[in-house]
């Protein structure tokens, strides 16, 4: 009996969706070098190509919603696609998030931060908690005139035997505080970070993000994009 391999069909290989996030992958077509190939080069290539092709690149647009503890497996295809990117590919992360599960945020952080040479992040409307931390990953951080940002310390829960609980909490507190403090340090004072670690929430409008240097560009209501001058002076 002859067995035929089943072909797996993907509706749109350039769009990967989960319940909370969507990744769009756009190919930029190769450009042609205006310098023509020599006859010798054409013979070596055994073709009648007249120009050298410059390899194209991909543009990744990642739409981020809320972070869910139940979303790990669904994220695998998105994470794999990001890990396969070239460092010079573009990535644009567009955030509309109330925050959520910290571990899922770290899953994205570890896939994106070491991979791309340049990261663009946007607050589409809100970036709270883990969404705010995702926004701060950007080299270019773009907001709208009516965007909102909220930063605070982590929330966490664990079950188990007494010593297991103590060990887990001690380890988690050290590692998470080290990470969040490093992320917030350029934009918040030492006293503010101490207050944050004690439970204070920091709610910021676009004008407040501008004052702190949290955003690098603002998209005006008329569509103009205005660069924000660096006015940070945190101690």
Q: Within a domain: residue 45? A: yes
Partnered with residue 159 across adjacent β-strands are none
Coil, strand, or helix at residue 136?
Answer: helix
204, two tokens: 């910021």
- Give the model's pLDDT for residue 27: 87
Q: How many domains does the chain have?
A: 2
Does 43 lie in the same domain as 106?
Answer: yes
**What is the predicted pLDDT for the residue at 57?**
85
State pLDDT tens for residues 172-196.
667 778 888 899 999 999 999 999 9
First to last CA, the chain: 76
In this structure, are 190 and 170 located in the same domain?
yes
Residue 37 maps to which CATH number? 3.90.226.10
**pTM for the whole thing?**
0.79
Comparing C-alpha atoms, which of 14, 5, 134, 122 is closest to residue 77?
14
In the chain, which stretches have pLDDT less than 70? 1-13, 29-55, 155-160, 164-173, 230-235
Do 89 and 105 share a domain, yes or no? yes
Co-location of 147 and 196 in the same domain: no
Question: Is residue 2 a part of any domain in this protein?
Answer: no
């Amino acid at each position: 009996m002859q067995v035929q391999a089943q072909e797996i069909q993907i509706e749109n290989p350039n769009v990967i969706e989960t319940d909370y996030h969507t990744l769009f992958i756009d190919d930029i077509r190769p450009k042609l070098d205006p310098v023509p190939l020599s006859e010798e080069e054409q013979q070596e290539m055994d073709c009648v190509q007249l120009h050298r092709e410059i390899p194209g690149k991909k543009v990744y647009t990642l739409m981020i919603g809320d972070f869910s503890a139940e979303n790990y497996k669904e994220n695998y295809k998105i994470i794999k696609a990001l890990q396969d990117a070239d460092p010079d590919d573009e990535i644009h992360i567009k955030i509309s998030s109330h925050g959520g599960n910290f571990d899922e945020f770290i899953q994205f952080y570890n896939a994106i931060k070491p991979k791309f040479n340049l990261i663009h992040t946007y607050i589409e409307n809100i970036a709270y908690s883990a969404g705010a931390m995702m926004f701060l990953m950007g080299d270019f951080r773009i907001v709208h005139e009516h965007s909102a940002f909220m930063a605070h310390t982590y929330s966490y829960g664990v079950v188990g035997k007494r010593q297991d609980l103590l060990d887990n909490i001690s380890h988690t507190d050290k590692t998470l505080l080290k990470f969040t403090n490093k992320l917030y340090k350029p934009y918040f004072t030492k006293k503010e970070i101490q207050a944050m670690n004690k439970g204070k929430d920091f709610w910021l409008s676009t004008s407040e993000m501008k004052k702190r240097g949290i955003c690098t560009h603002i998209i005006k209501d008329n569509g103009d994009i205005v660069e924000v001058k660096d006015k940070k002076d945190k101690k």
